[in-house]
Chains A and B, each alone.
Chain A
């Protein structure tokens, strides 16, 4: 199964995301922001870092990059898409996910091993987990405050579309401790923390006992889940 990883100008985590795809058992395909071509991939990861200097707003200009035309179209047609950090911001700006990310309420960049609760293990990217399971992956962002109006938040909660919630303290002022959400289909998921940095023993989180895996590889489940979703589809 081919999983595309998009590189925008300023993307930092595309190599790690591609490596995570391979560790999960998939084939990583590099996609370029300026090409309106998905090269026949079965799913797409929008990785973290920055994009177009994050001018205007984080992810705003990337959301209308040439590659995003086919990404949005494919996502609406059921292709699994995962947005991590800046990729989550891009998905919100593109209108594939509700809400928006604003500057951290603590006014500082936050980088730490972050405990999360998986609130929905039914999505294309979380089926390897159990609903309610606690995992630990790195978090590193300056603009991670999840915001949406109360009606949207109530809808998300009511429809079970909050996929991840922060545990052990809200790091960035996200409303209702929301760390990640999904679209109505469960194929498009976005989150601020970084599962791709937690897929290899010795290189992932060491705090909180290394997470549920015990060796800092809790993020691997994202990349095995999508293969399950693709092969069972």
Chain B
């Protein structure tokens, strides 16, 4: 069983109200010093067999067509979850 990780973030120029809300809440827990928070998404796509180059290509297509909206989001990475350094 293989897993592909897809990470998506709001584009830097897009306002991220979720991140702002989290950012404003942290000091209430005494967690000072974080000047900004941005919130994105992590997807785990599971396949039967190993993560082959073809599987990664399919995952990249999934990322660019559905998982992220290129108008407001960037696909940060599409990687094999079990590969070294992933």
Contact = CB atoms under 8 A, between A and B. Distances in A.
Interface of A: 56-57, 60, 64, 92-93, 98-100, 102-107, 145, 147-149, 173
Nearest to A172: B17
A149 B66 contact: no
Contacts of B61: none
Contacts of B18: 103
A91 to B, nearest CB: 13
A181 to B, nearest CB: 13
Nearest to A143: B17
B42 interface: no
B71 interface: yes
Contacts of B17: 102-107
A104 B20 CA distance: 12
Interface string B44-73: 000000000000000000000011010110
B15 A149 contact: no
A145 B13 CA distance: 13
Nearest to B21: A107
A147 B72 contact: yes
Contacts of B10: 102
Contact of A147 (B14, B20, B21, B66): B14
